Amino acid sequence: MTADRLVGELHQRLERAGKLHEYAIAIASDHGHTIDTAIFTDIALPGELCQPEGGTLHVVVNNDAHRNEITSQLAEFGAEYIGNDHVPEVVRASIATYAAPHRHSFEVSRTGHNGGCGGSPVGRPRYISSHGLRPGAPADDRFAIFYGAGIPQRVVESATAEDFFPALASILGVPADKNSDELASSRIL
């Protein structure tokens, strides 16, 4: 709500100053998925090498039997193995990826950050929103709004993440080539 209010206030100030026509405004979502429960990976999977990423968890596995064991342990919390097709082929056999159930995220416990381990494997999340949910699920979709000077009014129902950067670069008038010297020297924050 605060972010919405700030965007509205910016719009009103530019409009009152007679400058709105000089600006292009881009708004894109990232977080915002409400989380009620955290699954603490250092407690749920003690000793396992893993990387929690909000609603997604990547675990290093030794073989199929190890992956099946991890899958069984995480199923107790409602987490689901979602495969590893998104992982580079050379490491695909050693990475297993899991999705947290609705309104859950994967985190490291507060005691895990201090080198300790213990307590409940689930609890109150550190953050009330997450980096995302199950990849490909409609609930994980993001939105982007571009408006202002020189931007045609239209609705694009769906686009890929790879479409965002070139669209934004075009609006800003900078090259879409991520390696461009001109882009590297621009003042885009």
186 band by pLDDT with thresholds 50, 70 and 90: very low
Write down the pLDDT at residue 42. Answer: 95
- How many CB atoms within 10 Å of residue 142? 13
Task: Give pLDDT tens digits for 105-141.
Answer: 999 998 755 444 458 999 999 877 766 666 666 666 7
Write down the pLDDT at residue 120. Answer: 93
pLDDT at 90 exceeding the cut of 80? yes
- Residues 86-113: what's their mean pLDDT? 87
| Sequence-distant (≥ 6) Cβ neighbours of residue 146 within 8 angstroms | 24, 25, 26, 27, 167, 168, 171
Task: Give pLDDT tens digits for 16-75.
Answer: 999 988 888 888 776 556 788 999 999 999 999 999 988 889 999 999 999 999 999 999
**For residue 157, what is the enclosing H or E element?**
none
Whose tokens are 């998925």? That residue is 33
145 band by pLDDT with thresholds 50, 70 and 90: confident
Domains in the chain, ordered, with CATH? 2-29+158-185 (no CATH), 33-139 (3.30.1360)
Cα 176 from Cα 92, distance rounded (Å): 31
Greater confidence (103 vs 143) lies with 103
Write down the pLDDT at residue 151. Answer: 83
Give first-to-last CA distance, the chain, whole Å. 23
SS3 147: strand
- Residues 155-167: what's their mean pLDDT? 79
Task: Look at strands 56-60 and 80-83 and give their pairing.
Answer: unpaired
Mean pLDDT over each residue of the chain, to the nearest integer: 82
pLDDT at 78 exceeding the cut of 70? yes
SS3 4: helix
Write down the pLDDT at residue 114. Answer: 46
